[in-house]
Structure 1
Amino acid sequence: MIASLAMYDWPHVAAEHDRLWQLVRAALAEEGIDAPAGLTRNGSLWTIWESPALVLGQTCGMPYRTRLHGHVALVATLDYALPDAPPGYYYSEFITRADEPGDVIDFIDRTLAFNGQDSQSGWAAPQNHVAPLGLKFSHTRHTGAHRDSARAVAEGRADIAAIDAVTWRLIEAHMPKLAAKLRVITHTAPTPGLPLITAKGRDAVAVARAVAAALAALAPEDRAALGLAGLAAIPPEAYLAVPTPAPPSQDVPVN
């Protein structure tokens, strides 16, 4: 059995995630569903997401719509109560250096740092933001993580990045020196947030009830640390409707 909440499971909030999981596990037991004693914090995310042993996982909208849909069961979406977004939705914060002027369009021919080409927030969202103008970010730097994208921009190895708003909140709270070197330009349009999934064939409705019960029982201080406001039911169609941009071109030199 596997459970993972790896997308926002930073060391700074690992204890809060552990307490949340224990509440979910107890609620799952009430539903007659066995669950692992603890969260998995190592190994490939794709291996976790695609495992038939997955009881509860959190993925990203782009992997869900491009590869996981039809192979896993959608449970629900955690609501992080972001301003200017419906429950369960999120967006990306465009960031640049604090002393760097300009709007997003002024960076179109400069270097975009992105965490991964299968990331909704780091890759799809910024490309979809400029696509209506007939533009795309062509000069890129792959970093592997939002935190590393923020560092790349702060250190001048890139000029702009799109950072998942919940991750940006964590950066501001736990990496204030890095955040102080950066400024938010604007944010992308809201899209469905990171979906909770379970292995295909499991009772996703029962798992959702267990997560909802756990959130209701979670201590206020833990809810605040995790930024959680509740649980949202977003249909698969909403995820599938988000455009998927082409991956970074192999014809354009990657910095």
Structure 2
Amino acid sequence: MYLRPANTAAHCALWALIRDGLRNRDLPAPDALDEDIDYQASWAHPDLVLGQICNLPYRAQFRDRVTLVAAMDYDLPGCAPGYYNSVFIVNRDSHLSDLRHLRGRRMAASALLSQSGYGAAQQWGADQGFVFASPLITGSHAASIKAVATGAADFASIDAQTWWMAQQDDPLTGQVRVIGTTPASPCMTLITRKEQNPAPYLAAVTDAIAALPETHRQMLGLRGVVALPPAAYDIALPPDP
């Protein structure tokens, strides 16, 4: 989910370690990551070895169709291990400075089935007693940042890990500013196909992260993985816009 040109080598190195760990545990694993398959198709694939899923599509569509392995831990500020949140961004020149000012404003959302780009913001709004209506669907966090930077939307909710990466290579982040954060929820979560024992997958991933060279670990911002209880995913689905 976080593959970018700058960190491709680090992701590939991590996969090579996971792959070898799975094979050492008599589990099949492909030589390389599949960078072309549609993510929805990958999660539903009957031969899925390992995938990374956002908790909203997991809760909404895949909970009974896959095996939960563990949540990624990127050591994000204000988040417990295995959790993440999103940052609310507005245009650098916007007068908006308080999250309460977002009520009635135009939201840019990466996708309706994105927890970080849509669900977390609606969760925050629900806690305040309202919903964000008629969001501008952009297709990606990068496009949402652009929408706020160019004035096409008043604000957006950006995955905190994506925001950390974007600040390193997306100049448009200089055109926006953060005014707050959403509630935290389970971070990007590793899954495999249905009716598998998650233990050897978790062990292979844990060992791989421990063996990953420090330069790659820093590039990914990855601290580890956490096997969260299934109840951690018992979060109400966001409302339709």
- How would you bin the TM-score normalised by the shorter chain? over 0.9
Match of 2:120 in 1: 125
Matches within 5 A, 1:227-242: 227-239=221-233, 241-242=234-235
Match of 2:29 in 1: 35
Unaligned runs of 5+ in 2: none
Task: Answer yes or no: is the 8 Å Cα contact 2:123–2:183 preserved in 1.
Answer: no
Amino acid at match of 1:19: A
Q: 1:107 Cα deviation (Å)?
A: 2.2
Amino acid at match of 1:238: A
Q: 1:186 Cα deviation (Å)?
A: 0.5
Q: 1:106 Cα deviation (Å)?
A: 1.2
Match of 1:251 in 2: none
Q: Distance in 2 between matches of 1:31 and 1:141?
A: 46
Task: Answer yes or no: is the 8 Å Cα contact 2:144–2:156 preserved in 1.
Answer: yes
Match of 1:3 in 2: none
Matches within 5 A, 1:1-255: 7-102=1-96, 103-175=98-170, 177-239=171-233, 241-248=234-241
Partner secondary structure for residue 36 of structure 2: coil
Partner secondary structure for residue 8 of structure 1: coil
Task: Answer yes or no: is the 8 Å Cα contact 1:109–1:139 preserved in 2.
Answer: no
Q: 1:193 Cα deviation (Å)?
A: 0.7
Structure 1's consecutive aligned runs of 4 or more residues displaced over 3 angstroms after TM superposition are none
Q: 1:132 Cα deviation (Å)?
A: 2.0
Partner secondary structure for residue 69 of structure 2: strand
Q: Distance in 2 between matches of 1:44 and 1:222?
A: 25
Q: 1:55 Cα deviation (Å)?
A: 0.4
How many residue pairs are counted as aligned between the two chains?
240
Task: Answer yes or no: is the 8 Å Cα contact 2:82–2:226 preserved in 1.
Answer: yes
Q: 1:136 Cα deviation (Å)?
A: 1.2
Instruction: Kindly report the root-mean-square deviation, in angstroms, between the aligned alpha carbons of the 2 structures.
Output: 1.0
Percent identity over the alignment? 40
Q: Distance in 2 between matches of 1:34 and 1:132?
A: 44
Unaligned runs of 5+ in 1: 1-6, 249-255
Task: Answer yes or no: is the 8 Å Cα contact 1:110–1:139 preserved in 2.
Answer: no
Q: 1:204 Cα deviation (Å)?
A: 1.5
Q: Distance in 2 between matches of 1:136 and 1:69?
A: 25
Amino acid at match of 2:130: L
Q: Distance in 1 between matches of 2:196 and 2:236?
A: 28
C-alpha distance after superposition, 1:182-226 (max 9, x if no partner): 100100111111110000123311011000010000000100000
Q: Distance in 2 between matches of 1:158 and 1:193?
A: 26
